[in-house]
Amino acid sequence: MRLSSASPAVVPSRRPAPVPVARPAFPYDATVRVSLWVSAALIGVLFGWGAWQRRWIADDGLIVLRTVRNLLAGNGPVFNAGERVEANTSVVWTYVVYAGSWLAGPMRLEYVALVLALVLSVAGVVLLMLGTGRLYAPSLLGRRAIMLPAGALVYIAVPPARDFATSGLESGLALAYLGLLWWMMVCWSQALRSRPCGRVFIGALAFVAGCSVLVRPELALIGGLALIMMLVAARGWRQRTLIVVAGGLLPVGYEIFRMGYYGLLFPGTALAKDAAGDKWPKGLLYLSNFNRPYAMWVPVVLLLALGLVLLTTRARPWWIRHTPPPGYGRWARAVQSPAAVVAFIVISGLLQGLYWIRQGGDFMHGRVLLVPLFCLLAPVAVVPVVFPDGTRFSRETGYWLAGAVAALWLAVAGWSLWAANSPGMGDDATRVTYTGIVDERRFYAQATGHAHPLTAADYLDYPRMRAVLVALNNTPEGSLLLPSGNYNQWDLVPVIPPKQPPDPNKPQKGPHAVFFTNLGMLGMNVGLDIRVLDQIGLANPLAAHTARLQHGRIGHDKNLFPDWVIADGPWVKWYPGVPGYLDDKWVAQAVAALQCPATQAVLNSVRSPMTPHRFLSNLLHSYEFTKYRIDRVPLYELIRCGLEIPESSGTPYTGLPASGP
């Protein structure tokens, strides 16, 4: 049978391709959206106001500013010019303050650090709340609800959280970093049910996660886990390559710089405090010290109960599995999900807490447990209160559940009000007891007589500080200053007289060094040409390479004898130039011990001029330099190195030009 030319051709019918409908990126009801932003704004204002009421700059915060001064002066990222020691833990915070000070121009560095710390602290809490609000948003689509602050309210109620929001330390930066990472991870986890993440977002998230180790070294546990999750969920080798490059380029590049420039595998502060060590009993004592004044177990119980009630009221749980786009396997669906991200932040908080408890905590009340607390509160930073609609539950049951949520929230708010006005450590706040823990802000406020010690000038009222300026001005020929038992004076060790008498027509400017624990206030009140050293090892490479004392105060559990400082400099090494309470034989033994080849290699790694050869040598030997330790007792160090013990202590000091020690 033939079809006529007029007959229409038979064409197989095809179904039209389905048009993908992208769900909105922010599926908030208007009430939810408004209440979330109002809650975030309210908490931000309360936190900022509370932090401002307790504003201060810590002595450790001033340490950062000394490094920034050297950067601005062209001496590099060092604490003392001519000695490459990384005295700051947070790389990012150092350069954020440096950039801020460069932009602020004539503004004092202390005020730059204060403003940056406060702004970043508030931003971190707000980002945390926005991330949690986005986490709950899918289950609230089409339902009437309001968002109330819960975990965020608990955080800002804890007094140490407000203390360290303006301390000049990297605490505010850490909050901003974690808040941003949490918000981005929540967005990433919801991509399978809305719209896939683009390359720019994936690269940005990987970059943020990779920067964790530069914000603080222990935050690598959080950023590294985020990168692992992204690699597991990635589609194809191109996306995995993007994640590896974006996440690893900056931290790996800086690690190479650190190994070549400083000759270490990690910051000098970690070496000084032996961050790989463990002191579980002291860590548990630190946890108890943080819990006792504020009954921290109360909000933990309340928030757990609140979370359980919320699970029963969710019309569409955020852990439900959605049909993913093509190319996503079972593991990808499990990892790139809101449930996995919640587990990620909770596990991260627990790991951070365990790390610091193992490390022994800190000497500052509550400081190092703020990050673990911040992470653990993230899933309940805000909570939804759903109005009964009679769809999933009867109105009677709905009102009962809403009432339970409201009652628990009121209990959290009541505890927060009580904790915010807590006296904290009470009478022990400013005393160094057997625990070694103090309320750092109150301690320095009392010791300086300033309610808000902010600038280096405020710290001149700290014991010994004005006296050090007087001693430096009175010794233009140079001297080493050692702390005396009298708070109004310093013990001076004169410089070895030169072979040729100085020209009386030229102003004398000899070398100066000060040996003292409080590096920040001292370093910011003296010139950059004056070496500032400590016995703990934060700025002293010799002290950093000593062993940790078994029962020392946390953060101060290295103690280098002043004999080493006299030996390691152009100072008189015999009586009566050496103070009477020191043994000149110990000084002579320290001089001999410094000739140990391995010790000389470590000192050369930070004192020799930086050349390509030096950089490469440091890079290759950084592992050996990092693990190297000396004995703090000069005699034992001589025995360890196999060196001869000197027979005499040296030549008596006459004050006249000499040929040498």
pLDDT tens digits, one per residue of 444-457:
999 999 999 999 99
Measure the CA–CA gap between 311 and 294, rounded to whole angstroms.
28
Measure the CA–CA gap between 534 and 308, rounded to whole angstroms.
51
Q: In this structure, which amino acid lies at residue 169? A: L
- Domain end marker among 356, 387, 421: 421
Answer yes or no: is pLDDT of 46 > 70: yes
Q: How far is CA 209 from the centre of its chain?
A: 15
- Which residues constitute the domain of residue 341? 31-319+330-421
For the full predicted model, state whether its pTM sits above 0.75.
yes
Measure the CA–CA gap between 150 and 300, rounded to whole angstroms.
11
Answer yes or no: is pLDDT of 326 > 80: no
- Domain end marker among 421, 450, 471: 421
Measure the CA–CA gap between 258 and 252, rounded to whole angstroms.
10
pLDDT digits (tens, 9 = 90+) for 635-646: 999 999 999 998
How far, CA to CA in Å, does 224 sit from each of 162, 173, 210? 28, 18, 7
Measure the CA–CA gap between 129 and 133, rounded to whole angstroms.
6
Kindly tell me the number of DSSP H helices and DSSP E strands found in the chain. Answer: 27, 6
Residue-level pLDDT at 650: 52
pLDDT digits (tens, 9 = 90+) for 181-205: 999 999 999 886 666 678 899 999 9
Residue 450 domain-assigned? Answer: no
Answer yes or no: is pLDDT of 458 > 60: yes
pLDDT digits (tens, 9 = 90+) for 388-430: 664 555 555 556 667 788 889 999 999 999 999 999 898 888 8
Residue 430 domain-assigned? Answer: no
- Domain end marker among 386, 421, 456: 421
pLDDT digits (tens, 9 = 90+) for 473-494: 999 999 999 998 888 899 999 9
Residues 6+ apart with CB under 8 A from 418: none
Closest of 391, 392, 388, 358 to residue 372, by C-alpha = 358
Residue 503 domain-assigned? Answer: no
Residue 364 DSSP one-character state = B
Closest of 46, 44, 52 to residue 452, by C-alpha = 52
pLDDT band for position 22 (50/70/90)? very low
Q: Write b or e for each residue in 173-201: b if 16 or more Cβ atoms lie within 10 A of its Cβ, otherwise e.
A: bbbbbbbbbbbbbbbbbbbbbbeebeeee
Residue-level pLDDT at 147: 92
Percentage of the chain exceeding pLDDT 70? 86
pLDDT band for position 321 (50/70/90)? very low
Answer yes or no: is pLDDT of 261 > 50: yes
Residue 371 domain-assigned? Answer: yes
Residue-level pLDDT at 509: 80
Count CB atoms within 10 A of the CB of residue 533. Answer: 29
pLDDT band for position 503 (50/70/90)? low
Q: Return the biggest CA–CA distance within the chain.
A: 131
Residue 157 domain-assigned? Answer: yes
Residue-level pLDDT at 20: 41
- Comparing 237-241, 311-315, 457-461, 552-556, which segment has the lowest mean pLDDT? 311-315
Residue-level pLDDT at 479: 95
Residue carrying structure tokens 């709905």: 398
| Mean pLDDT of all residues in 588-611 | 96
Closest of 181, 172, 80, 85 to residue 122, by C-alpha = 172
| Mean pLDDT of all residues in 537-542 | 94
Q: In this structure, which amino acid lies at residue 572? A: V
pLDDT digits (tens, 9 = 90+) for 284-295: 999 999 999 999
Give, for 187, the enclosing helix (H) or strand (E). helix 171-189
How far, CA to CA in Å, does 485 sit from each of 273, 489, 490? 26, 8, 8
Residue-level pLDDT at 159: 96
Number of structural domains found in the chain: 2
Residue 149 phi, psi dihedral angles, 5° rounding: -70, 135
- Comparing 21-30, 209-218, 498-507, which segment has the lowest mean pLDDT? 21-30
Q: How far is CA 469 from the centre of its chain?
A: 31
